[in-house]
Amino acid sequence: MDFRHTEDQLAWKDTLHRFMEKEVGREYTREHDQDREFPDELYRKCADNGWLGLLVPEELGGVAADPVMYAIFCEAIAKYSLDTAACLMTSMFTISNVVYHGTQEQKDEHIPAFLKGERRFSISISEPQAGSDAANVSTKAVHDGRDWVLNGNKTWCSGAHLPGAWIVMLARTGPERHAGLSTFLMPNTAEGLDIRKMPTMVRRSLGTTEIFLTDVRVPDSNVIGEIGKGWEYIGEHLDYERLGLAASYVGNARTALDDTIAYTKDRIAFGRPLSSLQVLKHRMAEDETALTAARLLVYNAATKMLRGEKASKEVSMAKVFAAETFFRIATNGMQAYGGYAQLPEYDMERYFREAKHGMVGGGANEIQKTVIARHMGLSDPR
């Protein structure tokens, strides 16, 4: 298959990389990582450029970018940090639940505010006992004749604490494993919500949270789609979420490898550049090979989606391979940099931290392999 970009795709890629170099850069990325602050300026600029609406149809005010153009965006926006990319991507794929399953009133209220950069969205699926086993959700939503009343405990809800954030929450409305799940839309200021930011080693800018719900009341007007269809709705956006993540791993891995190459060329040891040592240049050659393969897997999945075909297997293949490749590149970079790798101003320690998270976030590597196996005709445990 031919994955060469068209002229329009190349122009889009160039625009994004110029933006990342001139409007974002390494210093800004380091600052919002070290300060654990959301990159508000970046978010506003992307909103002003119309990029938040890449996955929103034109009739709703968006851009309606195809999967390849979206992958190019995610690859570029992660140039310096996966966390930076997540600050944008999380809201972008979460709003799709409203776009495709929301009522007209929900669309009118939330989509224009989102496109202007005034509203953010967080997806809330996981719980202490429902991480990789996501369908094991126990947070309950019970209708009392007037509202839905939610009680439970959610975790790993990235961005749920941010000002103006709304949460798309998966909760149990019936006993069935999948058909008993529904999705609810709620502001993070709802009475009975206790949202606590977690001191994780990554997601420092976007932030991830634990949420405790005590008799949180949600009106019928805030139910997304039909009761009992929550698992189906959440599953629909996973291909786009995982495609974006895989592309972002490739984008950040490219920078990590380029940084390693530049450092080993400049660093002199034993009277010659480190890059001349066979052990290091062979590692970098292997990393370049794996990164090229990871990128091809990403655009293979994106191209299949562009044709309107189901690509869950290809997306999972791209995500698991890209995550493992990025972690290996970052690990080799840490080794090549030696002691300097521990310093934030060299960036490699951030790549390393975030690469490790990539092997878990958005569906652990083991879950991706289970998805792949399912499409191979191999049965699940249940």
Span 99-122, average pLDDT: 97
Alpha-carbon distance 210 to 5, whole Å?
41
Which residues, 6 or more positions from 305, have their beta carbon under 8 angstroms from its beta carbon? Answer: 67, 239, 243, 311, 315
Same domain, 296 and 356: yes
What pLDDT shows up at residue 43?
Answer: 97
Span 275-299, average pLDDT: 97
Same domain, 260 and 362: yes
88 in a domain, yes or no? yes
Alpha-carbon distance 289 to 273, whole Å?
22
* pLDDT surpasses 90 at 82: yes
Q: Where is the domain boundary, 56, 86, 115? A: 115
Report the first-to-last Cα separation within the chain, whole angstroms. 36
Alpha-carbon distance 285 to 108, whole Å?
51
Residue in 114, 12, 10, 3 with CA at minimum distance from that of residue 55: 114
Q: What is the CATH number of the domain that holds 168?
A: 2.40.110.10
Alpha-carbon distance 304 to 300, whole Å?
6
pLDDT tens profile 345-368? 999 999 999 999 999 999 999 999
Percentage of the chain exceeding pLDDT 70: 99
Long-range contacts of 37-40 (CB under 8 A, 24+ apart): 37/205, 38/87, 38/159, 38/162, 38/205, 38/206, 38/207, 39/84, 39/87, 39/205
Q: How many domains, the chain?
A: 3
- Between 67-77 and 82-94, two packed helices, what is the crossing angle to 10 degrees? 150
Which residues, 6 or more positions from 113, have their beta carbon under 8 angstroms from its beta carbon? Answer: 119
Alpha-carbon distance 244 to 13, whole Å?
15
What pLDDT shows up at residue 163?
Answer: 95
What pLDDT shows up at residue 4?
Answer: 86
Same domain, 220 and 287: no
Q: Residue 381 — very low, low, confident or very high, per pLDDT cuts 50/70/90?
A: low
Tokens of 311: 């690509």
What pLDDT shows up at residue 114?
Answer: 98
Alpha-carbon distance 323 to 219, whole Å?
40
pLDDT tens profile 221-251? 999 999 999 999 998 888 999 999 999 999 9
- Structural domain range at position 74: 7-115
290 in a domain, yes or no? yes
Residue in 283, 242, 360, 298 with CA at minimum distance from that of residue 3: 298
* pLDDT surpasses 80 at 278: yes
Same domain, 227 and 259: no
What pLDDT shows up at residue 380?
Answer: 67
Alpha-carbon distance 45 to 57, whole Å?
20
What pLDDT shows up at residue 223?
Answer: 98
Same domain, 86 and 171: no
Same domain, 284 and 186: no
Same domain, 100 and 20: yes
Phi then psi for 362, rounded to 5 degrees?
Answer: 75, 20
321 in a domain, yes or no? yes
Same domain, 262 and 299: yes
* pLDDT surpasses 90 at 151: yes
Alpha-carbon distance 83 to 24, whole Å?
13
Strands (E), the chain: 120-124, 140-143, 148-158, 165-172, 181-187, 193-197, 208-218, 223-224, 268-269, 272-273
149 in a domain, yes or no? yes
381 in a domain, yes or no? no
382 in a domain, yes or no? no
pLDDT tens profile 44-70? 999 999 999 999 999 999 999 999 999
Q: Where is the domain boundary, 81, 96, 115? A: 115
Q: What is the CATH number of the domain that holds 16?
A: 1.10.540.10
343 in a domain, yes or no? yes
Span 112-134, average pLDDT: 95
Residue with structure tokens 């655009």? 299
Least confident residue range of 2-11, 12-21, 40-49, 56-65: 2-11
Q: What is the CATH number of the domain that holds 320?
A: 1.20.140.10
Alpha-carbon distance 183 to 233, whole Å?
8
Same domain, 355 and 253: yes
Same domain, 330 and 371: yes
User: Hey, is 152 helix, strand or coil?
Assistant: strand
Same domain, 324 and 290: yes
Q: Where is the domain boundary, 66, 100, 115? A: 115
* pLDDT surpasses 60 at 3: yes
Residue in 304, 302, 315 with CA at minimum distance from that of residue 363: 315
Alpha-carbon distance 354 to 347, whole Å?
11
What pLDDT shows up at residue 251?
Answer: 98
Mean pLDDT of all residues belonging to the chain? 96
275 in a domain, yes or no? yes
Same domain, 246 and 225: no
* pLDDT surpasses 80 at 271: yes
What pLDDT shows up at residue 306?
Answer: 95
